[in-house]
Chain A
Amino acid sequence: MALFAANTEKLEGWNRPPIIAPDGDAELLEVAMGPHHPSTHGVFRMDVALDGERVIRLKPVFGYLHRNHEKIAEGASYLASMPYTDRLDYFCSLTNNWAYALAVETLTGQQVPERAEYIRVILAELTRIQNHASAIGFLIQEMGASGTPLMYAFKEREKILDLFESLTGSRMMCNYMRFGGCRIDVSTAWLDAARKVVAGLPGFVDEFENLLSSNEILMARCQCVGILSPQLAINAGVTGPMLRGSGVNYDIRKVDHYGIYDRFKFRVPLGDHGDVYDRYMVRILEMRESITILNQALKEVPSGPIMDSKAKIRGFRPKPGEAYGRIEAPKGELGFYLISDGGPNPYRYRVRPPSLMNLTVLEDMCLGSNVADVVLIFGSVDIVLGEVDR
């Protein structure tokens, strides 16, 4: 059938799961899941072809939230794009800030003071915990448990967002990092408040796990669903908990040692099977590792300046050249590619969005599974449409 021409084509380095041809004269049902499907976390569409309950074809459709962030950033000064990066992945504005600041610091060769590096690590790991907690909450909600786990996650997220608000003035749109440091210094009182929140986090993760990890329904629906092989994951540029759920040991915090991550002891959790359950479990374990990083970082925040003394706020013009900077954001590798022509705005500004890249393999994971599992597999990717469509 002409319908399957694109799928059955065998491509090198690209092993698709076997296509299950529909039985005889079976009629295909074409369903547009989205853009207003409650499970799509925003405006996103999947054009699905079904044979009964089985998924035969799945094409993601993007662009409903496209506002050409890159073009806007090319018309603005370097610093003016910093608040806009908050709006990419609006769950993790602080890691977006860090990735952009890191790219510009790579471009200019600026140094970041030690105290600012500690503050960055503390904020990034808090962001990771609240992102993973809510991602799991949403995943469980898509399984049918409406409310309870998500509200547990949001209860903890509120505490972390309160910390963000008291430091940066905003709960989600923090706009906190600057090229060569941070915007506002943390107070001793804020650090004490952060220690108090972090002290309560292990109890939350324990409770969350007791509720979920050995839950019969969760295990039955997540295990052996949406399997992603490590070879395909690497080849398709999948990063973050998705890649590690497939058993690939690749954490940019360990590989690049950006910031001061080489000073902290933490482990990289890996999955065995690459199914939805492994991705869930990797996120739980990453929360625990983030707590150990936070405990180490909060113990020894050094005193000193929070901004590079040579940093220029006004008249910031990097020398001509280009740079690619990347960090391990909660959803995967978030990179910024900048070309400077010596002017006040970047000549080229590119965001490498982890959410979009992780969706490359959505069709491969869903083919042959039941349509009800598509919602679950999609939920386990953990995307934010603000970043997918930019």
Chain B
Amino acid sequence: MKTVEEIKAAIEAAVPGAGVEVVPNPSPSGQHSLRLAPGHAIAVAQFLRDDAELALDFLSNLTGVDWPDKEITEKVKITRSVAKTIDGVEQQVEETVEESRKRMEPGCLEVVYHLFSVAKEHGPVVLRMRTINRTDQVELPSLTHVWRSAEFQEREVFDLYGVVFAGHPDLRRLLMWEGCKDHPMRRDYVEPDDFEYEPTPHDAVLARAAEHKATEESPSQEGTAH
């Protein structure tokens, strides 16, 4: 089977400007991956499926990974001139100070694809795609039309991570209930604290529940079943 670098070269020859990037994997598994630019993903996927030598006709696994915003502390060396008194004379002296600086690295949602070939019996070839951020630009192209096995798995990633797959024929939640607003597989998900509350047709019970809720201090989390 071709190495990731060879696959990258083959993709770039077939799809000009595909913007493929090799992501090395330091683990002994040696399963390195290729990061695709979402814009060309469908063309690349079709090439990988239909290319006679690669023939990656079987999308086995599709899943999401959440990379939240990360605060990174860096040590930076700064040189500045300081006024110092040496031997009773005031002088300007160059001094190097180490200073720690904090910066936020923006997070993203990542989708990982594991491809195999049934015809050639090789694999896995690992593809990844990243959304721009985790809040409002979470759209990625759907590959359901290339590999049908993405149909339920994309629905699952949409459900549990909140990645919106553009072009999916039936993008609905798969495992959580319809009214659910949250995405429980995200790292910053907070569990609801009102599991016991159940809707009931009896007004008295409803009133009691509302009263209980009003006196309760714990804030009800948004996006749970009511």
Q: Once the chains bind, are A324 and B61 in contact (CB under 8 Å)?
A: yes
Q: Once the chains bind, are B25 and A324 in contact (CB under 8 Å)?
A: no
Checking A66, A319, A324 against B124 with a beta-carbon cut-off of 8 angstroms, the contacting residue is A324
Checking B57, B124, B169 against A234 with a beta-carbon cut-off of 8 angstroms, the contacting residue is B57
Q: How far is the CB of A239 from chain B (nearest CB, A)?
A: 8
Q: Which segment, of B93-101, B142-150, B193-201, B207-215, faces chain A?
A: B142-150
Q: Once the chains bind, are B169 and A9 in contact (CB under 8 Å)?
A: yes
Q: How far is the CB of B176 from chain A (nearest CB, A)?
A: 6
Interface residues of B in 124-182 (CB under 8 A from A): 124, 126, 144-149, 151-153, 160, 169-170, 173-177
A323-363 contact mask (Cβ, 8 Å, vs B): 1 or 0 = 11010000001010101100000011010100011011100
In the bound complex, how far is the Cα of B114 from the Cα of A232, in angstroms? 18
Contact partners of B176 in chain A: CB under 8 A: 63, 66
Contact size class for B?
A: 35 or more
Contact partners of A248 in chain B: CB under 8 A: 118
Whether a CB of chain A sits under 8 angstroms from the CB of B10 is no
Q: Once the chains bind, are A62 and B174 in contact (CB under 8 Å)?
A: yes
Q: Which segment, of B11-19, B26-34, B74-82, B216-224, faces chain A?
A: B26-34
Q: Once the chains bind, are B152 and A320 in contact (CB under 8 Å)?
A: no
A2-34 contact mask (Cβ, 8 Å, vs B): 1 or 0 = 000010010111100000000000000000000
SS class of chain B's interface: helix, strand, loop or mixed? loop
With A236-B148, A360-B151 as given contacts, are A255 and B121 in contact (CB-CB < 8 Å)? yes
In the bound complex, how far is the Cα of B27 from the Cα of A68, in angstroms? 27
Nearest CB to that of A237 among chain B residues? B149
Checking B26, B145, B175 against A63 with a beta-carbon cut-off of 8 angstroms, the contacting residue is B175
B47-64 contact mask (Cβ, 8 Å, vs A): 1 or 0 = 001000000011111010
Whether a CB of chain B sits under 8 angstroms from the CB of A267 is no
In the bound complex, how far is the Cα of B169 from the Cα of A9, in angstroms? 9
Q: Once the chains bind, are B174 and A360 in contact (CB under 8 Å)?
A: no
In the bound complex, how far is the Cα of B170 from the Cα of A14, in angstroms? 14
Contact partners of A333 in chain B: CB under 8 A: 60
Interface residues of A in 72-89 (CB under 8 A from B): none
Whether a CB of chain B sits under 8 angstroms from the CB of A114 is no
In the bound complex, how far is the Cα of B150 from the Cα of A12, in angstroms? 13
Interface centre among B31, B65, B148, B152 (most CB of A within 10 A): B148
Contact partners of A321 in chain B: CB under 8 A: 25-29
Contact partners of B29 in chain A: CB under 8 A: 106-107, 109, 321-324
In the bound complex, how far is the Cα of B27 from the Cα of A361, in angstroms? 35
Nearest CB to that of B186 among chain A residues? A71
Whether a CB of chain A sits under 8 angstroms from the CB of B112 is yes
Contact partners of B149 in chain A: CB under 8 A: 235-238, 357, 360
Q: Once the chains bind, are A322 and B151 in contact (CB under 8 Å)?
A: no
In the bound complex, how far is the Cα of B170 from the Cα of A215, in angstroms? 41
Q: Once the chains bind, are B184 and A68 in contact (CB under 8 Å)?
A: yes
In the bound complex, how far is the Cα of B58 from the Cα of A326, in angstroms? 14
Checking B112, B145, B173, B175 against A12 with a beta-carbon cut-off of 8 angstroms, the contacting residue is B145
In the bound complex, how far is the Cα of B126 from the Cα of A337, in angstroms? 11
Q: Once the chains bind, are B25 and A337 in contact (CB under 8 Å)?
A: no
Q: Once the chains bind, are A235 and B27 in contact (CB under 8 Å)?
A: no
Q: Once the chains bind, are B185 and A389 in contact (CB under 8 Å)?
A: no
Whether a CB of chain B sits under 8 angstroms from the CB of A318 is yes
Q: Once the chains bind, are B145 and A237 in contact (CB under 8 Å)?
A: no
In the bound complex, how far is the Cα of B187 from the Cα of A71, in angstroms? 9
Whether a CB of chain B sits under 8 angstroms from the CB of A262 is no
Contact partners of B144 in chain A: CB under 8 A: 11
Whether a CB of chain B sits under 8 angstroms from the CB of A70 is yes
Checking A107, A235, A322, A340 against B148 with a beta-carbon cut-off of 8 angstroms, the contacting residue is A235
Q: How far is the CB of B71 from chain A (nearest CB, A)?
A: 16
Q: Once the chains bind, are A250 and B152 in contact (CB under 8 Å)?
A: no
Contact partners of A296 in chain B: CB under 8 A: none
Q: Once the chains bind, are A326 and B60 in contact (CB under 8 Å)?
A: yes
Q: Once the chains bind, are A335 and B184 in contact (CB under 8 Å)?
A: no
Whether a CB of chain B sits under 8 angstroms from the CB of A370 is no
Contact partners of B28 in chain A: CB under 8 A: 106-109, 321
Contact partners of B126 in chain A: CB under 8 A: 324
Q: Once the chains bind, are A337 and B112 in contact (CB under 8 Å)?
A: yes
Contacts A63-B175, A235-B57, A356-B152 aside, 8 further interface pairs with beta carbons under 8 A come to A14-B145, A14-B148, A71-B184, A250-B118, A320-B26, A324-B114, A337-B61, A389-B175
What are some 12 contacts across the A-B interface (CB < 8 A)? A12-B146, A68-B175, A68-B184, A107-B29, A108-B27, A109-B27, A234-B58, A255-B121, A323-B27, A333-B60, A335-B60, A350-B61
